[in-house]
Amino acid sequence: VDLTEDELLDAIRRVLDEPAAEVVVGVGDDAAVVKAGSGDVVLTTDALVEGTHFERVLTSARDLGYKSIQVNVSDVAAMAGSPRYALCALTLSEQVDAAWTMELLGGMREACAEHGMRLVGGNLARGSEITLAVTVMGEVAPGRAVTRWGARVGDRVVVTGSLGGATAGLRASREHPPWSPEERDAIHRHARPIARVGEAVVLSHHGARAMMDVSDGLALDLSRLCAASGVGAVLDLEAVPVHPAATLDDALGGGEDYELLATVPTSDAVEAAGAELAETFGIPLTDIGAIVEGDGLRDPRGRPVEPSGWDHFR
Amino acid sequence: VDLTEDELLDAIRRVLDEPAAEVVVGVGDDAAVVKAGSGDVVLTTDALVEGTHFERVLTSARDLGYKSIQVNVSDVAAMAGSPRYALCALTLSEQVDAAWTMELLGGMREACAEHGMRLVGGNLARGSEITLAVTVMGEVAPGRAVTRWGARVGDRVVVTGSLGGATAGLRASREHPPWSPEERDAIHRHARPIARVGEAVVLSHHGARAMMDVSDGLALDLSRLCAASGVGAVLDLEAVPVHPAATLDDALGGGEDYELLATVPTSDAVEAAGAELAETFGIPLTDIGAIVEGDGLRDPRGRPVEPSGWDHFR
């Protein structure tokens, strides 16, 4: 492919975008939101591909199945939706047997159970590499989906939990033990991320105007949120909550953290949301900057922050 | 994989099947049906994998995109549902460029437009082979989904259109021109199948008790319908509507025809449905046998008909 992922997505968006009353959110956000009966339905799909997203020798089938659901649930959460149903189109190679496949499905089911979801369908095909294409459908009260284009100048920028852990975990898992407790935590975060479903609803209740999950590194994802909203951001690099096993570069440029990135109108709202997240989920919320006029990311001294995150096509 | 596709699906079903009030139809049918708001939602996913389902040198990107939507819509149609939304998780190799990808999406959009559907989301990933994992969501009036387990002894077995054409078309497309008009029609049917959405609704209105699409050959698909319903069938081989470029073996054992296979209670219902299908869609409906006690397929003289259709894992 001769374009970056974002360039290709842009091109696709231009081909597909057509306003329609029943499509609340179409292509270009974490998930689609559509009208169905009396509610709004959230739809998202994401594939994990062998060799690109995982190596079979490094990942257990159970962890892989678990993660394939969580990464999709994370997209539904990022709209402030509640996940309900999952489907999986599985492409299997000759290298895996039925036992591996059942472990994979066991992991999918485990993740579904954690979110009160049901795996309602799927499809099997044969290929030369393994691909897990998962679709998750969720629901959201009409008009309550939080998109990535609602940020306004003056909003505070917040992020849940800590960043860079998944990248540090992937790195540690390729080295030999012994691992420090922080590295073990990072390895676990990479293998079994947990989508922030309840946390997203709390942020929505506290007035979050724009929200997305951090899957491709904070710098790239925040720059996407800014571009979608037609604004810029000042990112306070010293405030970014970096996982204890990770570096600031891991947090800015690594992927797969699946934390929530949001903008809220005031510092009071940040404080109130943070208190509720800490009490209910034991998860910190950190103020990492502000939405400003213009475009792109700058640090507090005005120097540009490059969005060099995970691009699937670079 | 050390099991056949049906054996593996059976194993998966045993792991996943859990009764739940909000899941009208779960794993094991053409599509899932779930409660959402005031309606029933139909969900299905199906992947087309390079090397398994298509060869890039033999298929245009536009036809491939078109077909990837139609095969999923066919599963929604087989539940008597109306397709509404599509998503696509695309895995692209380095062998394709942005122009190819846009053509692919153009074909998807064309198929969506034919069915009044919207492509609302997707995902891009990189891999060593191309995979198109499409999900389609549709709607059906509560309680009106037609499953494959409703066939009863005495039902007539019917099929829309003609069978074997896709297999004959694939064969012809691998040979050199000149092609006969029948072969050209068969090649078109393989490249651009059209899901029988309206036809399925007509069959449902005329009392269809069980229904599925014929994607893996009539013999295998009818034996699946019989197994799901706990019945057998007498298949009148001489009555099977074979495409003019195809053989009876193509019809019984070939795949990708995407016609509808259904059971209806009486010969009068067959006639009434057939008249409406001919008038409204110009599509024939053929009575090809009867549902009987027992299991498996027999011809009218009592000899077993082997379900040797397309198995993705054989």
B310 at A interface, C-beta within 8 A? no
Burial readout A5-14 (b: 16 or more C-beta within 10 A, e: otherwise): bbebbebbee
Average pLDDT of chain B is: 88
At A4 the pLDDT is 66
| pLDDT tens-digit map of A198-216 | 999 999 999 999 999 999 9
| Cβ-based contacts of A36 with chain B (< 8 Å) | 36-37, 39, 41, 84, 137, 139
Residue B127 near residue A33 (C-beta atoms within 8 A): no
> What ipTM does this complex have?
0.86
A98 at B interface, C-beta within 8 A? yes
Q: What whole-number distance in Å separates Cα of residue B117 and Cα of residue B120?
A: 9
Q: Are strands A156-160 and A259-264 parallel, antiparallel or unpaired?
A: antiparallel
At A314 the pLDDT is 46
Residue A218 near residue A252 (C-beta atoms within 8 A): yes
Output the furthest CA–CA distance in chain A (Å, rounded): 57
- pLDDT beyond 70 at B102: yes
More confident residue, B4 or A105: A105
Give the least confident one: A14-28, A217-231, A279-293, B113-127.
A14-28
Q: What's the half-sphere exposure (Cβ side, CA atoms, 13 Å) at A46?
A: 24
Residue B199, helix vs strand vs coil: helix
Mean pLDDT of B1-5: 58
| Cβ-based contacts of B111 with chain A (< 8 Å) | none
Q: What whole-number distance in Å separates Cα of residue B139 and Cα of residue B76?
A: 9
Q: Would the CB atoms of B41 and A1 count as touching at under 8 Å?
A: no
Confidence bin at B311 (pLDDT 50/70/90)? low
B103 at A interface, C-beta within 8 A? no
Confidence bin at A65 (pLDDT 50/70/90)? very high
| Cβ-based contacts of B44 with chain A (< 8 Å) | 87, 121, 123
Q: Which residues pair with A50 in a beta bridge?
A: A54
CA dist B109 to A44, B42, B66, B117, B131, Å? Answer: 18, 20, 7, 9, 17
Output the furthest CA–CA distance in chain B (Å, rounded): 57
Q: Which two tokens stand for residue A105?
A: 């499905």
A1 at B interface, C-beta within 8 A? yes
Chain B CA closest to residue A48: B125
At A5 the pLDDT is 59
Q: What whole-number distance in Å separates Cα of residue A291 and Cα of residue A265?
A: 10
A139 at B interface, C-beta within 8 A? yes
B110 at A interface, C-beta within 8 A? no
Residue labelled with tokens 């920028």: A157
| pLDDT tens-digit map of A67-81 | 999 999 999 999 999
Q: Which has the closest alpha carbon to B286: B203, B228, B205? A: B203
Average pLDDT of chain A is: 88
Residue A239 near residue A287 (C-beta atoms within 8 A): yes
CA-CA-CA-CA torsion sign (A9, A14, A17, A19): positive
Q: What whole-number distance in Å separates Cα of residue A177 and Cα of residue A199?
A: 33
More confident residue, B162 or B35: B162
Q: HEC states along B77-139? A: HCCCCEEEEEEEEEEECCCCCHHHHHHHHHHHHHHHHHCCCEEEEEEEEECCCCEEEEEEEEE
H/E stretch holding B263 reads: strand B259-264
- pLDDT beyond 80 at A26: no
| Cβ-based contacts of A91 with chain B (< 8 Å) | 47, 49, 52, 131, 133
Residue-wise DSSP of A34-101: EEETTEEEEEEEEEEEBTTTB-TTTS-HHHHHHHHHHHHHHHHHTTT-EEEEEEEEEEE-TT--HHHH
Confidence bin at A21 (pLDDT 50/70/90)? low
| pLDDT tens-digit map of A133-173 | 999 998 888 888 899 989 999 999 999 999 999 999 999 99
At B196 the pLDDT is 97
At A99 the pLDDT is 84
Pick from B25, B33, B123 the residue to mutate for testing the A interface (most A CBs within 10 Å): B123
At B310 the pLDDT is 56
A113 at B interface, C-beta within 8 A? no
- pLDDT beyond 90 at B77: yes
pTM, two decimal places: 0.89
CA-CA-CA-CA torsion sign (B260, B263, B265, B270): positive
Alpha carbon of A100: minimum distance to chain B alpha carbons (Å): 9
Mean pLDDT of B228-246: 97
Q: Would the CB atoms of A98 and B46 count as touching at under 8 Å?
A: no
Among B1, B53, B125, the residue with its CB nearest the CB of A47 is B125
At B220 the pLDDT is 92
- pLDDT beyond 50 at A1: no
Q: What whole-number distance in Å separates Cα of residue B139 and Cα of residue A88?
A: 19
B228 at A interface, C-beta within 8 A? no
Q: What whole-number distance in Å separates Cα of residue A237 and Cα of residue A64?
A: 32
Angle (CA) B94-B99-B103 rounded to 5° is 110
Confidence bin at B1 (pLDDT 50/70/90)? very low
| pLDDT tens-digit map of B164-196 | 999 999 999 988 889 999 999 999 999 999 999
Among B23, B122, B129, the residue with its CB nearest the CB of A129 is B129
Alpha carbon of A293: minimum distance to chain B alpha carbons (Å): 29
